[in-house]
Amino acid sequence: MSTINTYLTFNGNCREAMIFYKKCLGGELLLQTTGESPLAEKMRPQMKKIIVHATLIKGDLVLMGSDMVGEKGVLKGNAVSLMLNCDTEREIKKYYTRLSAGGHASNPLQISFWGALFGNLTDKFGNQWLLHFNKKQKPKGK
């Protein structure tokens, strides 16, 4: 089956954001700067520290990012959200608290009309998160 992974673009703070997400969600973080890539020879010295590619992996969760952005820079909007399906009530509460730190907790966790625990927030980097836990779903691996 095909999968879709989220790829976030930042304007110079990819390293900071990905480290924040790792602290919030756990997992293994891999960061590659332009200076460590084949692009190094073509870049000005001040550009060699920016992140060309970052990957945060925790089980099936894959979150990617980069500072490589077009001439207009990053344009934030509401067209993209990160949907985080959690395995336990404890997990969703932990992630909601961590991800909303320094951001805006727009809709606190509450039981939704479809019966799941659900909430959304905008993190301190302007990215929108939807957090979902359905008590009726079986945890992965069980």
Domain identity same for 61 and 96: no
What is the per-residue burial (b if ≥16 Cβ within 10 Å, else e) of 2-17?
Answer: eeeebebbbeebbbeb
pLDDT tier for residue 39 given thresholds of 50, 70 and 90? confident
Note the pLDDT tens digit of each residue in 94-135: 999 999 999 999 999 999 988 999 999 999 999 999 999 998
**Is the distance from CB of 130 to CB of 83 less than 8 angstroms?**
yes
1 in a structural domain: no
Q: Tell me, what CATH number does 96's domain have?
A: 3.30.720.110
| Whether residue 86 sits in one domain with residue 41 | no
Range of the domain at 22: 6-66
Regarding pTM above 0.85, the answer is no
Domain count, the chain: 2
- Is 107 a domain residue? yes
**Residue 13 within any structural domain of the chain:** yes
Residue whose pair of structure tokens reads 């790829």 in the numeric block: 7
